[in-house]
Amino acid sequence: AVPGEARIISTAKVQEDSTTGAVLEKFASENKVQFFLISFVDLLGVLRSKLVPASAIKKVADSGPGFAGYATHFRMTPADPDMIAIPDPTSVIQLPWKKEVAWVASDLYVNGQLLKQAPRQVLKEQIKKAADKGYRMKTGVECEFFLIRRDRAFASGIKAAEAYDTTPKPCYRQGSLMKQYDVISKLLEYMNEMGWKPYQADHEDGKCQFEINWEYDDCLATADKHVFFKFMVKTVAELYGLQASFMPKPFRNQTGNGCHCHVSLWTVDKPEERNLFLDTTEEMGLSGLAYQFLAGILLNAKALSVVYNPTVNSYKRLDGKNPSSGSSWAPPSYVSYTGNNRTHMVRIPDKGRFEVRRPDGAANPYLLQAALLASGLSGIEKELDCGPRCDWNAEERGPPEGMKFDALPENLLDALREFERSEYLKETLGTEFIRSYYHIQMEQWKSYSSFISTWELENTLDC
């Protein structure tokens, strides 16, 4: 659905039955849905909603429930008019674990205008730009998570759900996977039911860390599913008395939670769509267009680091810090790409796609896709060259002598400075978004900086 379409149709009263409200009302009656969660994601990735009874959906969906922007992570004040959430019926999902409720992503308006800094809107803008050039980005995300037990208050500490599992290399261990069979199989069952085509689940490299993979899709659909996946995993974990965490590095000596993203670009027309990244005659199976897109992602990685790695904690996952299993599986802090090698920022695992490995579990699902698409498109537009492929083991050693690579930010503040400095980002992602995101994220940094940590006390009390 085109943003705002439902509103235009409803005010013009052209076709009463095709309004968003009417579509959702029909969905409710066909599926015995009693409530809708009308949802949106703010700049820090927080999922927010209002619960609307199906009996009121026809009216509410077209005029939208209102939200006070200041109460969420947008750069707004208490004096600003309400944000109105207009649901996008193409995103509706009936909750597999609570069938009387359906979740629907929405687009935010203020004073009848789309809110420019809303993450879903930022992505839609890029999708439109791509479509105008004849491209459609398809992506698959790998959202790793830990299952943990929380002792009473958060401050009193967290531990992996299977704290006694002390095996040094827990990845793929059948025993460790099957200990959490109830949670993982339930998630697979629900994903099947929703038609996501899940195809595997495994125990990852951290203690009680898991990953479930489902089939790639158009990037907006992937982003909506990514949001819903986090909601679903957290909910199902709670049903089994556990907590799920996507935090980038919750345990100092364990591998962190990555959120690798696999990318390809397709022609717009369905059903005769073609993967424009595929060239079976090329060594890695990638087309010239794919390399240009990749070059754009590499060139802008520094400025977009704060989108891929948006929290203070994000930077503790990167650069192979402290893994007890031997590998952190997170790339080093320089910009490089490789073939089927899991130690660089970008990996080419197969023909017709590549994998961006820097993003982590805290990445905002919409902004992650928007960042990849915007920078990739610039690579095509400017016909960029991505330079040589780097086939060394980057966990073992740095680049060979004489080869220079762009360094990536190693903390949130440096990332924010790179983000704010980039003229290119202001042009492509819009000044309103850049200003708002910078402001909201800088508040995070300031809040963190004022906190006195155990490390400081342990290391500098006696100074």
Give residue number: closest CB to ligand ADP.
Answer: 140
Locate 393 and state its tokens.
């083991």
Question: Minimal distance in Å, beta carbon 265 to ligand ADP?
Answer: 9
Maximum Cα–Cα distance across the chain: 75
The whole-angstrom separation of Cα 413 and Cα 461 is: 25
Question: Minimal distance in Å, beta carbon 381 to ligand ADP?
Answer: 21
Q: Judged by CB, which is closer to ligand ADP: 40, or 216?
A: 216
> Which 138-197 residues touch ligand ADP, going by CB under 6 A?
138-140, 142
- The position carrying tokens 């909910």 is 235
Q: What is the 3-state secondary structure (H, E, C) of 331-386?
A: CCCECCEECCCCCCCEEEEECCEEEECCCECCCCHHHHHHHHHHHHHHHHHCCCCC
Among the listed residues 75, 230, 249, 260, the single contact to ligand ADP using CB under 6 A? 260
> Which 97-126 residues touch ligand ADP, going by CB under 6 A?
none
Closest CA to 110 of 154, 77, 143: 77
Q: Judged by CB, which is closer to ligand ADP: 82, or 215?
A: 215
Question: Minimal distance in Å, beta carbon 260 to Mg ion?
Answer: 4
Q: Quick check: 308 and 360 in contact, CB under 8 A?
A: yes
260 binds Mg ion (CB under 5 A): yes
How many residues in the shown chain lie near ligand ADP by CB under 6 A? 16
- The position carrying tokens 């860390």 is 209
DSSP state of 118: -
Options 42-50, 184-192, 211-219, 307-315: segment touching ligand ADP (CB under 6 A): 211-219
The whole-angstrom separation of Cα 296 and Cα 154 is: 41
Q: Judged by CB, which is closer to Mg ion: 120, or 347?
A: 347
- Going from the C-alpha of 323 to that of each of 69, 88, 210, 292, 320, the distances in angstroms are 40, 42, 16, 34, 7
Q: Judged by CB, which is closer to Mg ion: 124, or 260?
A: 260
Interhelix angle for 219-239 vs 119-132, to 10°?
A: 150
264 binds ligand ADP (CB under 6 A): yes
302 binds, among Mg ion, ligand ADP, none (CB under 5 to 8 A by kind): none
The whole-angstrom separation of Cα 288 and Cα 298 is: 15
Q: Judged by CB, which is closer to ligand ADP: 4, or 198?
A: 198
352 binds ligand ADP (CB under 6 A): yes
216 binds, among Mg ion, ligand ADP, none (CB under 5 to 8 A by kind): ligand ADP
The whole-angstrom separation of Cα 186 and Cα 194 is: 12
Give residue number: closest CB to Mg ion.
Answer: 260
The whole-angstrom separation of Cα 26 and Cα 17 is: 9
Among the listed residues 142, 204, 395, 418, the single contact to Mg ion using CB under 5 A? 142
Q: Judged by CB, which is closer to Mg ion: 298, or 356?
A: 356
Q: Judged by CB, which is closer to Mg ion: 19, or 213?
A: 213
Q: Which residues bind Mg ion (CB under 5 A)?
A: 142, 260
Q: Which residues bind ligand ADP (CB under 6 A)?
A: 138-140, 142, 213, 215-216, 260, 262-264, 275, 349, 352-353, 355
